Amino acid sequence: MAELKGFLPPRSPEGRASLVPAPPWHYSGDVMTIEYRTDPLRVAALLPDGVELAEEDPGAVAIVWADWQSCSESGEELLDPVRSQYKECFVVVRCRFEGETYSRCVYIWVDKDFALARGWYQGYPKKLGSIWMTRPVSVGQAGPRLGPGAVFGATLQANDRRLAEARLTLTAGSETAGFVNALPMLHSRWMPSIEKGNGDALTELITMRSRDVDLGPAFTGEADIRLFDAPGEELTALEPQEMIAGYWRQVGATFDGGSRLA
């Protein structure tokens, strides 16, 4: 019997049927980040056993919209754009594990199956959604030019329900694009046992950080965000209590694996 090939399911004789090829995976995209503060106890409720709140600004949250183009090492997906382009919206908090401070994604929605599969492998708790964000332009009048006064909007929907909407008005250049999502990621990889009542067959706490990071100019500004209740969602538990700021930046990076912590 021939060995089945492929990095992720479905595995097949040639391996081409796999949802995604093996890493490294390269990413380039536009990223809009909205940071605010919520009740730290709501953040703590989302952390697994052994992981604690960050000591500084424990209620800080970032909701990030991103419009990505991505590919594997061969770059073949770039010539078949439906396999390389996707959008996502993800929610990040900060936490501590064994004395180190990390960023942690607690919710995330994407609009393509290959991005969903990559995320589950990495430990991102991805779900399918509909994500839209204003694109900047360098010609014409059908979009904002990057700089003070530019206004961007973004929305998140899932299962035909609006979950979040945001607005960002740029006011100045910035040295950073925020602090909540600026640390190595601390993720959980879980898979329940097929035997009922036997807990999890896979339980890993892992960390990872991108390499070959390439950053465009960052901009900051005044931000506003609204969260909405919906069946099957708990995002409104992280209701904003105080806005911090919004940011816009072009980002390039490569993912090529992580490390198992526990």
Residues of the chain under the 70 pLDDT cut: 1
Does a structural domain hold residue 32?
Answer: yes
pLDDT score, position 47: 98
Rounded Cα distance, 122 and 124, in Å = 6
pLDDT score, position 24: 98
Does a structural domain hold residue 13?
Answer: no
CATH number of the domain to which 77 belongs: 2.40.400.10
Inter-CA distances, 259 with 8, 201, 207, 225, Å: 19, 19, 5, 34
pLDDT score, position 122: 98
Does a structural domain hold residue 214?
Answer: yes
Does a structural domain hold residue 17?
Answer: no
pLDDT score, position 35: 98
pLDDT score, position 1: 66
Does a structural domain hold residue 52?
Answer: yes
Looking at the structure of the chain, the number of domains it has is: 1
Does a structural domain hold residue 8?
Answer: no
Does a structural domain hold residue 2?
Answer: no
Residue 216 belongs to domain spanning: 25-137+147-254
pLDDT score, position 227: 98
Q: How many CB atoms lie within 10 A of CB 195?
A: 8
pLDDT score, position 17: 96
Q: To 10 degrees, the CA torsion angle through 58, 107, 73, 11?
A: 140
